[in-house]
């Protein structure tokens, strides 16, 4: 007997329970039978006995081609992984004395990023004398928060970090 399969379902002689509920290659229930007997019947048809539901009582086994079954399962897992969307953090940089048109352009980008399901980190950079006017920066970030209220929630409220003020927005 060869080494047991490390990945995937148990099949043929590696099925440990003495009795299994058997389903044939056409999807018909053949009832509960001894595992050895079921393996013999599967071999007659030229297929393997594959355990598809090991936690049932008794376990459910099907007449299948093991290689094909594993290939299909792997294909399904790859498709699921491919369709998954990872959430990224996009950064938008602004200055305290930003003009209205520039602000509108930045807001369009923020709303676009949130619409794609990404988080947005708004970085407000202070230079020189602007440092003494922290309230202007706070007012600007509160304006951003108000303008994105219907599409985003604030994940990290505005806070100072050195010469910049940060805020993180996440999709609702």
**Residue-wise pLDDT tens digits, 29-60:** 999 999 999 999 999 999 999 999 999 999 99
Q: For residue 7, what pLDDT is reported? A: 74
Q: Are 35 and 17 in contact (CB under 8 A)?
A: yes
Task: Give the C-alpha separation, 61 to 59, whole Å.
Answer: 6
Mean pLDDT, range 140-167, rounded to an integer: 94
At residue 90, the pLDDT reads 95
**Taking a C-beta distance cutoff of 8 angstroms, is the pair 120, 110 a contact?**
yes
For residue 11, the SS3 value is strand
Name the band, by pLDDT with cuts 50, 70 and 90, for residue 158: very high
H or E element in which residue 66 lies? helix 66-82
pLDDT-based confidence at 3, cuts 50/70/90?
low
Share the mean pLDDT of the chain.
91
The predicted-structure confidence for 56-83, as pLDDT tens digits, reads as follows: 999 999 999 999 988 998 999 999 888 8
* Strand ranges in 13-151 using DSSP code E only, listed in sequence order: 19-23, 29-34, 48-53, 60-64, 89-94, 119-125
pLDDT(142) > 60 = yes
């Amino acid at each position: 007997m060869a080494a047991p399969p490390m990945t995937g379902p148990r099949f043929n002689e590696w099925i440990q329970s003495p009795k299994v509920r058997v389903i044939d290659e056409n999807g018909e229930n053949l009832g509960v039978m001894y595992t050895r007997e079921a393996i013999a019947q599967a071999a007659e048809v030229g297929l393997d006995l594959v355990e598809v539901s090991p936690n049932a009582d008794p376990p459910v086994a099907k007449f299948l081609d093991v290689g094909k079954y594993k290939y299909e399962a792997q294909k399904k897992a790859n498709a699921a992984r491919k369709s998954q969307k990872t959430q990224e953090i996009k950064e938008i940089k602004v200055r305290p004395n930003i003009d209205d048109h520039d602000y509108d352009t930045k807001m369009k980008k923020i709303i676009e990023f949130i619409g794609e399901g990404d988080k947005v980190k708004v970085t407000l950079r202070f230079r020189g004398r602007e440092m003494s006017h922290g309230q202007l920066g706070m007012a600007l970030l509160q304006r951003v928060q108000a303008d994105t209220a219907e599409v985003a929630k604030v994940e990290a409220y505005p806070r100072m970090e050195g010469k910049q003020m940060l805020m993180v927005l996440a999709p609702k």
